[in-house]
Amino acid sequence: MKSLIKPKEELKSLPLTESELIKRAKEGNDEAFEMLISRYEKKIYNLAYRFLNNEEDAAEVLQETLIRAYRFLKKFEERSSFYTWLYRIAVNVALRKLKKRAKENKVVSLDEGIPQYEEIPQEIPDESQNPEIIYERKQIQETVQKALAELPEAYRSVVFLRDVEGLSNKEVADILKISVSAVKSRLHRGRLFLREKLKHLIKT
C-alpha cells in the first residue's frame, strides 16, 4: 500500500494552509501535526502561564494540551478555527489543574519563577529613549502582570482571552462554554477589579 506520509523535505517545501495541515494530520501525518501545533505552542504556554502563574505547571498544561489535541484531532470537525479548538482544550486542562491545585491547597507565590520576558514592544516612540519613562513602563507592566495573576479565576480567563489575546466576546464564550452575556459581565467585573488594583499606578 502506498504510504500517505510524504517525505519530510517535500512537506516542508510546500506552502500548506492550516486546513491542509489538519487534513494531513488527520490522515496520520505526524509531521503535519507538528507543523500545525508549532504555530500555537507559545500562545498555549502563555495562556497556561497566565492561568497558573508558574513555569512548571504551564509546561505541563502545554504538554497535556498537545497530547489531547493529537488524540482527539480526528474528532475536530472544523466548525471553529483550529486555534479556538486548541484553546478550548488548553483552557480546560488549565482549569482542571487549577482546581486540583486548590484541592491540594498548594500555596504558590505570585512572584514564583517569573521568567525572562521578551523585549517589551516600544509603542510610544517619542518616549522610548527616556530612562524614566522606560522605568515607569516596566513598573506598570510588572504590576499589571501581578494584578492579572491576582484576579479571581472566573474573571482572569475572560480578561486574558479578551484583553490580552484580543479575542471577540463570541470566541471567548465558545472557548469557555458560557454565554456572551456572561463573558461581558465577567469582563466588566474583572476590569473593575484591575482598576482597583492599579489605581495607585495609572493616573488619568
Which residues in this chain contact other proteins in the complex, by CB under 8 A?
Answer: 30, 34, 41-42, 45-46, 49, 55, 58-59, 62-63, 66-67, 70-71, 115-121, 123, 140-141, 144-145, 148, 159, 163-164, 166, 169, 184, 187-188, 191, 194-195, 198-199, 202, 204
As a whole number of Å, the end-to-end CA separation of the chain is 69
Q: How far is the CB of 48 from other proteins (least distance, A)?
A: 9
Q: How far is the CB of 20 from other proteins (least distance, A)?
A: 20
Q: How far is the CB of 76 from other proteins (least distance, A)?
A: 17
Q: Rank residues 35 and 105 by Cβ distance to other proteins and give the closer one.
A: 35
Q: Rank residues 52 and 79 by Cβ distance to other proteins and give the closer one.
A: 52
Q: How far is the CB of 184 from other proteins (least distance, A)?
A: 5
Q: Rank residues 79 and 203 by Cβ distance to other proteins and give the closer one.
A: 203
Q: Rank residues 67 and 102 by Cβ distance to other proteins and give the closer one.
A: 67
How many CA atoms lie within 13 Å of 74's alpha carbon, on the beta-carbon side? 5
Residue linked to cell 498544561:
61
Q: How far is the CB of 203 from other proteins (least distance, A)?
A: 9
Q: Which residues are CB-neighbours of 6 under 8 A, at least 6 positions away? A: 24, 29, 31
Q: How far is the CB of 55 from other proteins (least distance, A)?
A: 7
Q: Which three cell numbers stand for residue 24?
A: 494531513
Per-residue 3-state assignment (H helix, E strand, C coil) for 57-94: HHHHHHHHHHHHHHHHHHHCCCCCCHHHHHHHHHHHHH
Output the furthest CA–CA distance in the chain (Å, rounded): 69
CA distance 197 to 204: 15
Q: Rank residues 9 and 123 by Cβ distance to other proteins and give the closer one.
A: 123
CA distance 170 to 156: 17
Q: Rank residues 15 and 124 by Cβ distance to other proteins and give the closer one.
A: 124
How many CA atoms lie within 13 Å of 20's alpha carbon, on the beta-carbon side? 6
